[in-house]
Amino acid sequence: MHLNPSEQAMLDGAEGPVVAVALDYLVQFGEAFGAERLVDLAYCHYPAEMGIYEGSVEDALAYAAQGARVRVPTSCSTLCADVERPTSTGCPATLAALQTQVVDAHRRMGICETYTCTPQYLGFVPPFGACTCLVESSAIIYYNSVLGVRTNRGGLFTRYAAITGKYPLMGYLLDAQRRGTHWFHVDIPPESLRTYDRWCALGMHIGARVGSEVPVITGIRPDRQEWLLGLGAALATSGSVTLFHIPGVTPEARTLEEAFHGDVPADRRIVTAADLDAVYEAQTTIAPHAPIDFVTLGCPHYTLEQIRQVAAALAGKRLADGVRCWICTNRMTRRQAEFSGYVQTIEASGAQVVADTCPVESHMRQSTCRDYGLPVPQVEAMVCDSGKMLRYVGDLIGCRTALTHRDGCIAAALSGKWTP
């Protein structure tokens, strides 16, 4: 790999051993994939060091103590507890105390303590075409596909990218890797694609068929930000999609020809309403009219407008006995929702507006429950509007699930039963 003089000096230790080791990891990583050089980064979304993983918080504290400092704007992904109200979700006090230690470490490193899976909602929006390094699959696919910002799945290497401001020029940072590979045409009436869960179902269907390739999707015109978020999160979950194109919507695919870099395939796969129905059937394992005990909204984290709609639906009402309902968001959105009175309305019903975390990242994982002597499973039956959430909770939390729209989720929370 070719290094410029400043990069070579960094590797030789001119900026200290922590930076030298980090750059060495990136160079080895890039050479393994044939990268010819490094690129400068505009932004990083840092991996959260979560208390549910043994040694993770301690590692973060040690890294900060070594003098690691980020050199590009850097936000941070979700934790296992709400850092302002750490025990409000039932997180064991010892785990909550451990988790909150990471905040000071991140602050000393210069990381913005956002603790969210949707940093784009907080103003972290680099220019079109900028190179970045991100964790969190739903954020990665959104930045690539909706913003036209370039990133691979950063994983642990995001840690090294953030403190060097460098990343190997490879993968989805390259023009050639961003070409569409499969064409899906959606043959579903637009009026049937007007709720968040339907876009999640669409993503679950396509992602399962395209794997890690780059789908190009025609026949749809999403006109809400959260629909694109739900679509991308589901694509990245049912497959491992990192980039999709919707001609006329995604910025580098103004036309079908641009999406395929001029080589449009002859074949296209048709997606029908029956295909989406099959997703609901697969993700719904709760019997009709059976009791439920948990409702989740906000995967990925809900926007202020979505929280406003939940508040309007719950105003003056009360959750059924024994039902927990989390509306998950980032802390800054919760602050605004408090200012607007939405949090107070929601929490008067018995539901909670939870920041910094979500059920699958929390103490409710079966492995964490066993570590802390908690009952397993923590949840018997969860209703949710997110395909991504339900894809994970069956394995990680061990509960039965049902996928439906937001109003169906709220109805379940109020009645304590799943009603298709």
- The counts of H helices and E strands in the chain are 16, 13
**How much is the pLDDT for 86?**
86
* Separation between Cα atoms, residue 385 and residue 382, nearest integer Å: 10
∠ CA 3-71-166 to the nearest 5 degrees?
A: 30
Average pLDDT over residues 125-131: 98
Domain 285-415's class?
alpha beta
* Separation between Cα atoms, residue 25 and residue 40, nearest integer Å: 16
pLDDT > 90 in the chain, percent? 99
Phi (first) and psi of residue 328, to 5 degrees? -95, 140
DSSP secondary structure code for residue 188 in this structure: S
SS3 415: helix
pLDDT > 70 in the chain, percent? 100
Average pLDDT over residues 60-74: 97
**How much is the pLDDT for 52?**
96
- pTM, two decimals, is 0.97
* Separation between Cα atoms, residue 27 and residue 143, nearest integer Å: 24
Structure tokens of 216?
């190009």
pLDDT per position as a tens digit, 165-224? 999 999 999 999 999 999 999 999 999 999 999 999 999 999 999 999 999 999 999 999
Structure tokens of 335?
């602050």
Structure tokens of 414?
């109020």
Average pLDDT over residues 60-65: 96
∠ CA 330-141-18 to the nearest 5 degrees?
A: 75
Q: Could you give the residue range(s) of every CATH 3.30.499.10 domain in the chain?
A: 5-175, 285-415
Average pLDDT over residues 310-331: 98
Which residues make Cβ contacts (< 8 Å) with residue 74, sequence separation at least 6?
A: 43, 44, 45, 46, 110, 111, 112, 162
Look over the chain and give the mean of its residue pLDDT values, rounded to a whole number: 97
Confidence of residue 382 (pLDDT cuts 50, 70, 90): very high
| Polymer length in residues for the chain | 420
Average pLDDT over residues 56-67: 96
The amino acid that residue 28 corresponds to is Q
- Give the ranges where 110-156 is alpha helix by DSSP (H): 137-142
**How much is the pLDDT for 328?**
98
Q: CB neighbours (10 Å) of residue 85?
A: 16
Q: Please return the burial class of 355, using the count of CB atoms within 10 Å of its CB with bins 0-12, 13-18 and 19+.
A: buried
Say how far residue 132 (Cα) sits from the centre of its chain: 16
Note the CATH architecture for domain 5-175: 2-Layer Sandwich (3.30)
Under 8 Å between Cβ of 301 and 118? yes
Q: Does 125 score more than 90 pLDDT? A: yes
Confidence of residue 350 (pLDDT cuts 50, 70, 90): very high
* Separation between Cα atoms, residue 400 and residue 95, nearest integer Å: 26
**How much is the pLDDT for 390?**
96
**How much is the pLDDT for 108?**
97
Q: Does 87 score more than 90 pLDDT? A: no
**How much is the pLDDT for 187?**
98
* Separation between Cα atoms, residue 67 and residue 120, nearest integer Å: 28
**What is the b/e burial string over 43-67, where b = at least 16 CB atoms within 10 angstroms of the residue's CB?**
bbbbbbbbbbeeebbeebeebbeee
Under 8 Å between Cβ of 143 and 137? no
